[in-house]
Structure 1
Amino acid sequence: MLIKDLSLSAVVAGFVAVLVGFASSVAIVLQAAAAAGATQDMMASWLLALGIGMAATCIGLSWYYKAPIITAWSTPGAALLASSLQGLTINEAIGVFIFTALLGFIIGLSGWFDKLTRLIPLPLASAMLAGILVQFGLSIFTSLHSQLLLVGLMCLSYLLAKRFSPRYAILWVLLTGLLCVLVQGQFNYSAVTFSLTQPVWVTPHWSLSALMGVGLPLLLVTMASQNIPGVAVIRTSGYQTPVSPLISSTALATLLLAPWGAFSINLAAITAAICTGTEAHPNKDKRYIAGIAAGIFYLLAGLAGATVVALFAAFPKEMIAALAGLALLGTIGANLAVATAEGEHREAAVITLLVTASGVSFFGVAAAFWGIIAGGLTLLIINQWPKRN
């Protein structure tokens, strides 16, 4: 069954998802590790633990549910840690990771999260996702300012591939970008070194103030900014995978790998959208291969550790931004269509999209959460509030 469903487009989608995920936010993870006082070996161990956890959950969940279940580290969580771990020891930081993972595991088992997400209307979920992704679409064109030839050729290859070879459009974009970078001499070979990452165990210490002051905000940020959008990607792509097992599985992976540096493994949103669209495979029942492929690339990236970080850093940032934006164009369009299809939900969906796209953040919680809140209130007031005759 697995061999029969294997496709190059799905494997490429998995690779692009991992490439974009690592290249766009690995620096934030390393900043969080540095804030906790981690050594260079510990930082590499963090990437190894995260890579193993994401690989296990991507491969296991995608194969079991036959759906592209993509997991990731929590980028908002890493940003929170980078500013919140100052003054804590690395041992106390590990204690925070274990505490947060345990709470997430309980929430997943209880079914609370699943019930909450089912209260969110599909147009609002689609609008939230479109609001998250629109910045990546815009990055295609903002990158033209500094890399006109590189990004221009990538856009041209995308358009030509969509006309003559739509299933492999992103593969052609990737190959065009790589060729252009190599021909122009923009690949920084000197930055790439090869080494195998070694795991480093850190014994957890428990601090009540750290658990309350860092652990609870990390849990809230992860659930609101990662898992809710992650569920939206799954639902808007037509998959009815039960949510509770996904939340509990990712939390359990975090719990088991936390002593080696796994601070938060959760559902992906942006990178998941790359693997759930038609670019991965026209048949949605065969897109689970993209999830399995992403898991394999996550494992390789984790084992390589610092090497992978240096490799991604060797490419121009404009290439990565354009690659992500072009890979997500179809998903942005599909979610905009769903968000605005129903007149009853249209205004609430537009407000959800605008608040989410604005990037506004309150109390350390990202805009995706507040977008849903704003859209829900709009829907409640306009459609549900009793009207006076």
Structure 2
Amino acid sequence: MDPPEEAGRGALVHTVAAGVIAAITGFASSFALVIAGLHAVGATDAQASSGLLALCIATGVACVVLPLWLRMPLSFAWSTPGAALLIAAGSTTDDFGAATGAFLVCGALIVLTGLWPALGRAITSIPKSIASAMLAGILFPICIAPALAAVEVPAVAIPIVLVWLILVRIAPRWAVPAAMLVAIIGIAIIARPGAIAATGAVPHLEFVPPSFEPAAIVSLGLPLFIVTMAGQNVPGFAVMSTFGYDAPARPALLASGVGSVAAALFGGHAINLAAITAALMAGPEANPDRAKRWVATLTAGIGYLVLGLCAGLATAVVSASPPIIITAVAGLALLGAFAASIGTSLERPEHRVSAVATFLVAASGISVLGIGSAFWALIVGGVLMLWTSAGRKVGPMGRA
């Protein structure tokens, strides 16, 4: 075999491995958060399992079809900030049909954004400090869970945190999956005998009849759309641009929107462009040849389809666990996103008061008129920003 041919085959193997790692990392780092979020808005174990399976299928199909068509590593994932939002919105509804209706509205808005660019510009025109502060407020109760779990269930939580601490230094990519593995082992030890095996059946899709309740749409559907667009799709396009790809917005948004609508009918909340795992597949680590990196995303798509078969077992593990343990693992996975959100929200000194107010309202978990804290955080932050900025002269660098 000629050396160039051998090198090409080695690069292809490395590209496929990058896709497999991305799929495993994306699934293992946040499946527990998805299930916990679906449970929080009223899903049964069967509906949560169906929702996770639907998200895996929608993500997998999008990751296979678009790279084959566009020949670029355009990758997708479920909305992790959106799953965190479900937990925060749990106090506003326990009717999963109403939650599904809100998911459908979110998916439809993403489709509309793909068809009507002005809507996308309107979403991205929300001040970054406000959008980031809202996301940070949503993530805050989850990110403090590791500390709470270490006090409430130390025998399980402390080993989880220690494994995460060790690997975040020497192998950051595997820190959260390893922490999840330790959590599964701990849950299996403390759960009643057979609890996981009894409910870990082969997953199946279960249609969830949606209902469209205004309060659920306002407190869940609209914030889910905003955090999915601002927290996932916009960074996803930025990652592609960083590695030299001009990702077409319309096909990407239509794929994520249609996939979200399809998944919502079976309990899934939303899919979007990947950001963190996209860097694994669009960067030079996947393949020195930019034209061949799409194979990594194709492989990840197949990986998600296979991992979907684990949805029933994953739901059983979450159901058998003390809720604080699952939230603790999710908190470790979201620390980076929380830190980035806090940093972005406080970048501009003239916006810090409104950003802090947005953060506090979102983190409070309040519900007014049946509408959750994420919506009120945007309102409070926007009003404060308008009030404190009124009459202020803005310099050429956007500072007062």
TM-score under structure 1 normalisation?
Answer: 0.70
Contact 2:31 2:52 in 1 (8 A): no
Give the Cα–Cα distance (whole angstroms) in 1 for the partners of residues 96 and 111 of structure 2: 23
Residue in 1 aligned with 2:270?
Answer: 266
Give the Cα–Cα distance (whole angstroms) in 1 for the partners of residues 328 and 160 of structure 2: 8
- Structure 2 counterpart of 1:21, from 9, 30, 33: 33
Indicate how the Cα distance of structure 1 residues 262 and 229 shifts in structure 2: closer, same or farther if over 3 A, else same.
Answer: same
Which stretch shows the higher mean deviation, 133-142 or 364-373? Answer: 364-373
Q: 1:226-305 alignment to 2 at 5 Å? A: 226-234=224-232, 235=234, 238-239=238-239, 245-256=251-262, 261-262=265-266, 265-267=269-271, 275=277, 299-300=305-306, 302-303=308-309
Indicate how the Cα distance of structure 1 residues 14 and 32 shifts in structure 2: closer, same or farther if over 3 A, else same.
Answer: closer
- Structure 2 counterpart of 1:119, from 113, 125, 130: 125
Give the Cα–Cα distance (whole angstroms) in 2 for the partners of residues 147 and 267 of structure 1: 33
Contact 2:54 2:267 in 1 (8 A): no
Q: Deviation digits for residues 173-195 of structure 1, max 9, x if unmatched? A: 3344345455x454753432454
Percentage of pairs with the same residue: 25
1:138 equivalent to 2:144? Answer yes
Give the Cα–Cα distance (whole angstroms) in 2 for the partners of residues 192 and 363 of structure 1: 41
SS at match of 2:335: helix
Q: Specify the code of the residue in structure 2 equivalent to 1:52.
A: I
Residue in 2 aligned with 1:69?
Answer: 76
Tell me how far 1:274 sits from its aligned partner. 7.0
Q: Give aligned pairs, total.
A: 359
Q: Deviation digits for residues 360-388 of structure 1, max 9, x if unmatched? A: 2344443223222222222222123368x
1:340 equivalent to 2:346? Answer yes
Residue in 1 aligned with 2:156?
Answer: 150
Tell me how far 1:229 sits from its aligned partner. 0.9
Give the Cα–Cα distance (whole angstroms) in 1 for the partners of residues 158 and 169 of structure 2: 17
Indicate how the Cα distance of structure 1 residues 293 and 333 shifts in structure 2: closer, same or farther if over 3 A, else same.
Answer: farther
1:309 equivalent to 2:307? Answer no
Q: Specify the code of the residue in structure 2 equivalent to 1:189.
A: G
Indicate how the Cα distance of structure 1 residues 233 and 262 shifts in structure 2: closer, same or farther if over 3 A, else same.
Answer: same
Contact 2:184 2:317 in 1 (8 A): no
Contact 2:33 2:327 in 1 (8 A): no
Indicate how the Cα distance of structure 1 residues 23 and 379 shifts in structure 2: closer, same or farther if over 3 A, else same.
Answer: same
Give the Cα–Cα distance (whole angstroms) in 2 for the partners of residues 123 and 165 of structure 1: 31
Q: Deviation digits for residues 209-260 of structure 1, max 9, x if unmatched? A: x97xx266555455422121122223457446676655543442355567xx
Give the Cα–Cα distance (whole angstroms) in 1 for the partners of residues 360 and 296 of structure 2: 30
Which stretch shows the higher mean deviation, 286-295 or 357-366? Answer: 286-295
Contact 1:51 1:302 in 2 (8 A): yes
1:53 equivalent to 2:63? Answer no
SS at match of 2:228: helix
What residue ranges of structure 1 are gaps of 5+ in the alignment? 35-39, 87-92, 205-209
What residue ranges of structure 2 are gaps of 5+ in the alignment? 1-10, 242-246, 287-292, 394-400
Contact 2:23 2:300 in 1 (8 A): yes
Which stretch shows the higher mean deviation, 73-82 or 219-228? Answer: 73-82
Indicate how the Cα distance of structure 1 residues 306 and 143 shifts in structure 2: closer, same or farther if over 3 A, else same.
Answer: same
Give the Cα–Cα distance (whole angstroms) in 2 for the partners of residues 134 and 374 of structure 1: 18
Contact 1:195 1:307 in 2 (8 A): yes
1:352 equivalent to 2:358? Answer yes
Contact 1:123 1:349 in 2 (8 A): yes
Q: Specify the code of the residue in structure 1 equivalent to 2:315.
A: V
Q: Specify the code of the residue in structure 1 equivalent to 2:270.
A: N
Indicate how the Cα distance of structure 1 residues 81 and 252 shifts in structure 2: closer, same or farther if over 3 A, else same.
Answer: farther
Residue in 1 aligned with 2:197?
Answer: 192
SS at match of 1:360: coil
Contact 1:155 1:173 in 2 (8 A): yes
Which stretch shows the higher mean deviation, 3-12 or 311-320? Answer: 3-12
Tell me how far 1:108 sits from its aligned partner. 4.1
Tell me how far 1:14 sits from its aligned partner. 0.8
Give the Cα–Cα distance (whole angstroms) in 1 for the partners of residues 355 and 248 of structure 2: 24
Give the Cα–Cα distance (whole angstroms) in 2 for the partners of residues 109 and 243 of structure 1: 10
Residue in 1 aligned with 2:379?
Answer: 373
SS at match of 1:70: strand
TM-score under structure 2 normalisation?
Answer: 0.68
Indicate how the Cα distance of structure 1 residues 353 and 320 shifts in structure 2: closer, same or farther if over 3 A, else same.
Answer: same
SS at match of 2:76: coil
Q: Deviation digits for residues 345-370 of structure 1, max 9, x if unmatched? A: 22222122112111223444432232
Q: Specify the code of the residue in structure 1 equivalent to 2:231.
A: V
CA RMSD, 1 decimal: 4.6
